[in-house]
């Protein structure tokens, strides 16, 4: 079995993952080369964190993920992710999906959906595992939701082999909204380190309501009399090194708007959890993440006009990311060359990220049917933002967890799989690598604790039914 004790993990230089490792390893300042955020902030006034994040990551030519000159992944890039650390990660994810499929939908055709597939490593490992389990012939489509054409090319090169071998179709989409409903097909949807890359708004609870913290390019505080420097720190947060302590050398400054706006008010009331927060609390909220999670809930939950059998067998999803079952207020950060860096100093050339509020994602995926009736018949509904809802009625999906990546992988049998791989290894060095890589994934002082796994299935399992490996976790909807 894998011993997850961190002392036995070999440190790997230039090989860092993106969770908040608690230290600003190096504050690095660069002159901005991508000046669109500055131009927009100068022309129109301060911009939201969400707008800044969207521009820096997803601008069509200069965005971090869009520009092929950014290496992004691996030891030559800015960070490494679990699928690239060990093939065992994707294998065990695939085994989880197959166990759900065999329990719920044996014999149906399958389709795989991945949100933000990066280099395609996770999907490659999943397809190989399905092939080894002699189930690949059931997969008709692989849907990849990816906005970066540079990364689409990399994914195509990586996955083409499976398309040719098994005659499955690889289909790329700009948005999860473009994935068609397919109730005769079992959907397996995975999102690994995807939700953390979606833009967050930063809002602060004040005596007047929720006000947004914005990013200003104006050096002169007095010139902006509707804004004041953002100073409070969130009661909700990690001691984050990254943002709001930015020194004056930065081209941007966070500033707190003195009035609430429709978006800050909407976001502040979008979860009942936010109502009880004390004045001065700050939270990062992603309406884009909410909307995408809601669509995941709809794809997995299904429509009420599907028959009972179809309702049970629609599919399952795993959402894996860093974060927890709570809101964060100060987790926004940037990565460059495997180090946490100042997020304002190299727009478009650094990865930007924020911890995921899994409770918010669960809220988005559940209560779908009642939300529809409330919206349709105009009953008062003061919590869930109707602006995020579409008008099609859907069942809620059922969510489990999140549990830690350590618990997920250990319970899915990573220890046994390490032994299998080691028994086939042709050198001692390979055996050590297999073990160290697995230990890194489950390390309780690092990735094993910081990354969480949320399970999503179609409703509703029979009373007393559990979904492995989410055993100690209460059913959360």
Applying CB under 6 A, the residues found at the interface with ligand SAM are 58, 65, 81, 83, 116-118, 122, 145-148, 151, 192-194, 197-198
Q: Mapping DSSP to helix (H, G, I), strand (E, B) and coil, where does residue 316 land?
A: strand
Q: Which residue has the tokens 């009373």?
A: 463
Q: How far apart are CA 26 and CA 376, in angstroms?
A: 52
Nearer to ligand SAM, 177 or 420 (CB): 177
Q: Which residue has the tokens 């398309």?
A: 163
- How far lies 96's CA from each of 64, 91, 192, 334, 401, in Å? 32, 9, 14, 32, 14
Q: How far apart are CA 467 and CA 316, in angstroms?
A: 11
Q: How far is the CB of 150 from ligand SAM (least distance, A)?
A: 8
Which tokens hold the place of 438? 């697995």
Which tokens hold the place of 2? 């894998």
Directed axis angle between helix 49-58 and helix 36-44, to 10°? 150
Nearer to ligand SAM, 117 or 268 (CB): 117
Nearer to ligand SAM, 210 or 358 (CB): 358
DSSP structure class, residue 11: P
φ, ψ of residue 320 in degrees (nearest 5): -125, 125
Q: How far is the CB of 115 from ligand SAM (least distance, A)?
A: 6
Nearer to ligand SAM, 255 or 299 (CB): 299
Q: How far is the CB of 152 from ligand SAM (least distance, A)?
A: 9
Nearer to ligand SAM, 62 or 367 (CB): 62
Q: Which residue has the tokens 């399958």?
A: 110
The answer to whether residues 14 and 338 touch, using CB atoms and an 8 Å cutoff, is: yes
Q: How far is the CB of 117 from ligand SAM (least distance, A)?
A: 6
Q: How far is the CB of 476 from ligand SAM (least distance, A)?
A: 23
Nearer to ligand SAM, 79 or 400 (CB): 79
Which of 225, 233, 239, 227 lies closest to 205 in space, CA to CA? 233
The answer to whether residues 113 and 143 touch, using CB atoms and an 8 Å cutoff, is: yes
Which tokens hold the place of 44? 């129109």
Q: How far is the CB of 120 from ligand SAM (least distance, A)?
A: 8
Residues paired with residue 206 on neighbouring β-strands, in sequence order: 209
Q: How far is the CB of 93 from ligand SAM (least distance, A)?
A: 11
Nearer to ligand SAM, 193 or 284 (CB): 193
Q: Which residue has the tokens 């790329």?
A: 172
Q: How far is the CB of 294 from ligand SAM (least distance, A)?
A: 15
Residue 455 burial by Cβ neighbours in a 10 Å radius (0-12, 13-18, 19+): buried
Which tokens hold the place of 165? 């071998």
Q: How far is the CB of 320 from ligand SAM (least distance, A)?
A: 8
How many other C-beta atoms lie within 10 A of the C-beta of residue 118?
24
Q: How far is the CB of 286 from ligand SAM (least distance, A)?
A: 10
φ, ψ of residue 423 in degrees (nearest 5): -65, -20
Nearer to ligand SAM, 395 or 408 (CB): 408
């Amino acid at each position: 079995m894998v011993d997850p004790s961190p002392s036995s993990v070999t440190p790997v230089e230039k090989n860092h993952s993106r969770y908040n490792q608690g230290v600003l390893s190096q504050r690095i300042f660069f002159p901005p080369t991508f000046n669109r955020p500055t131009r927009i902030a100068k022309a129109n006034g301060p911009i939201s964190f969400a707008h800044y994040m969207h521009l820096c990551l997803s601008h069509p030519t200069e965005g971090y993920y869009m520009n092929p000159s950014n290496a992004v992944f691996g030891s030559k890039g800015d960070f490494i992710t679990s699928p690239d650390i060990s093939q065992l990660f994707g294998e065990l994810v695939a085994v989880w999906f197959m166990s759900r499929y065999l329990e719920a939908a044996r014999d149906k055709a399958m389709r795989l959906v991945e949100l933000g597939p990066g280099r395609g490593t996770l999907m490659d490992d999943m397809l190989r595992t399905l092939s080894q389990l002699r189930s690949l012939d059931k997969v008709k489509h692989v849907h990849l939701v990816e906005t970066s054409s540079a990364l689409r090319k990399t994914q195509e090169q990586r996955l083409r082999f499976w398309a040719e071998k098994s005659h499955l179709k690889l289909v790329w989409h700009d948005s999860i909204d473009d994935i068609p409903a397919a109730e005769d097909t079992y959907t397996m949807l995975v999102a690994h380190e995807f939700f953390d890359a979606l833009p967050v708004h930063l809002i602060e609870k004040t005596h007047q309501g929720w006000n947004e913290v914005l990013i200003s390019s104006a050096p002169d505080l007095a010139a902006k009399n509707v804004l004041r420097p953002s100073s409070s720190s969130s009661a909700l947060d990690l001691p984050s090194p990254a943002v709001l302590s930015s020194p004056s050398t930065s081209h941007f400054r966070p500033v707190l708007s003195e009035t609430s706006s429709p978006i800050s008010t909407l976001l502040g009331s979008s979860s009942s959890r936010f109502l009880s927060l004390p004045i001065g609390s700050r939270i990062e909220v992603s309406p884009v993440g909410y909307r995408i999670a809601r669509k995941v809930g709809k794809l997995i939950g299904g429509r009420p006009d599907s028959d009972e059998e179809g309702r049970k067998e629609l599919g399952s999803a795993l959402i894996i990311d860093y974060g927890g079952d709570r809101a964060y207020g100060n987790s926004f950060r940037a990565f460059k060359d495997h180090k946490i860096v100042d997020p304002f100093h190299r727009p478009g050339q650094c990865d930007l990220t924020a911890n995921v509020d899994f409770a918010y994602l669960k809220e988005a995926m559940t209560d779908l049917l009642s939300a529809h009736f409330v919206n349709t018949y105009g009953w008062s509904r003061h919590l869930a933002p109707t602006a995020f809802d579409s008008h099609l009625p859907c069942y809620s999906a059922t969510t489990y967890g999140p549990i830690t990546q350590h618990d997920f992988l250990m319970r899915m049998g990573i220890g046994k799989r390490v032994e299998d791989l080691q028994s086939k290894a042709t050198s001692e060095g390979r055996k050590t690598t297999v073990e160290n890589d697995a230990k890194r994934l489950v390390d309780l002082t690092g990735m094993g604790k910081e990354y969480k796994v949320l399970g999503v299935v179609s409703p509703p399992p029979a009373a007393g039914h559990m979904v492995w490996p989410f055993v100690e976790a209460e059913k959360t909807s």
